[in-house]
Amino acid sequence: MERLDGKAELDAEFTDLYRAHLRDVYSYAYYRIGNHHDAEDLTEQTFLQAWRHFERARREAEGRPLRPWLIRIAHNLAANYYRDRSRRPQTNLDDAAPVAALHETARLVEGRQELRDVLEGVAALPDDRREALIMRFALGMDNREIARALGRSEGATKVLLHRAIKQLEGALATHG
């Protein structure tokens, strides 16, 4: 009977993990893949793979949050997605940033062009820099979480983010 209790506890913990991080995993997948359908598939694959390895990951985490581990799974699946399909991310501009308030037409057009420039700049970054920016700004992950997700040291992650921001700023300066 204890085995069932342990299984029920494991199921409950995984359900909590799923509920807590579904939005983050989906957001990461969407920013990485660029369309809702494939992002949903990648999110599902991430949680299926996470379930297979959950018990071990829980033991090895030693109390640390599992979000970086989930993002690492999504990161690896996204890399496989591109390797298998040889595609680059394509973000639907209309889905990228909903308009929260009424704007004048000129300001709206200007804002969309700026957004388009930023998204193009991010898409043109090397994979590791793009990944780090997505994790930092789309998911709000801190340097420690990003480092764990990418399998790097915190110092290397800080440098990676700094270089990504500088490269993006340089690309945007040439557009403006």
Q: Where are the domains of the chain?
A: 1-88, 98-176
**CA angle 151-130-68, nearest 5°?**
35
CB distance 119 to 151 below 8 Å: no
* pTM: predicted TM-score of the whole model, two decimal places: 0.68
Q: Alpha-carbon distance 79 to 32, whole Å?
A: 9
Q: Alpha-carbon distance 76 to 95, whole Å?
A: 24
**Class of the CATH-defined domain 98-176:** mainly alpha
Show the low-confidence residues of the chain (pLDDT under 50).
1-3, 87, 90, 93-103
Q: Alpha-carbon distance 25 to 67, whole Å?
A: 9
> Roughly what angle, to the nearest 10 degrees, separates helices 67-85 and 143-150?
50
- The pLDDT assigned to 46 comes to 96
**Class of the CATH-defined domain 1-88:** mainly alpha
Q: Alpha-carbon distance 131 to 71, whole Å?
A: 10
Q: Structure tokens of 176?
A: 């403006």
